[in-house]
Amino acid sequence: MALYYFVLKGHWDSYPDTEGAEFENESAARKQACAVALELMRNRELDTRFWRIEIRDEYLEYCSEVLFSTIDPTIGHLRPDIRESIDHVVHERAQLADAILAVRDTIGEVRNTMAIAGRLLKP
């Protein structure tokens, strides 16, 4: 059994799993992530279509992710090329969200560094 963590990523926020769970392998962890995603999106698929769950290993290294759009039952009737386009847009938006989160983190770190520097430089 291996320990896996899940990170729910919404529109512009990230909600990490702090406890993790043991699974036989990454495939089993992914199956659980899909089940959780289906539960979270039930009756609000349009609002959650851009959400995703990252699967991370015991060292918090990225393994894979489940895009809610890829398992959204309300768009299952669409032609494959349209579904592929939706998934592409969702993936690109996910990358943008990750970049925005990284910038937010960097700005927070810079503010902290500036505050520490300000305290150290005061007579």
Domain that holds residue 95: 2-121
CA distances from 1 to 6, 47, 64, 121 (A): 16, 34, 18, 51
Dump pLDDT digits (tens) for 60-111: 999 999 999 999 999 989 999 999 999 999 999 999 999 998 999 999 999 9
Q: How many CB atoms lie within 10 A of CB 45?
A: 15
pTM confidence score = 0.82
Q: List, for residues 28-64, the tens digit of each pLDDT value.
A: 999 999 999 999 999 999 999 999 999 999 999 999 9
Rg (CA), the chain: 18
State CA 38 to chain mean position distance. Answer: 15
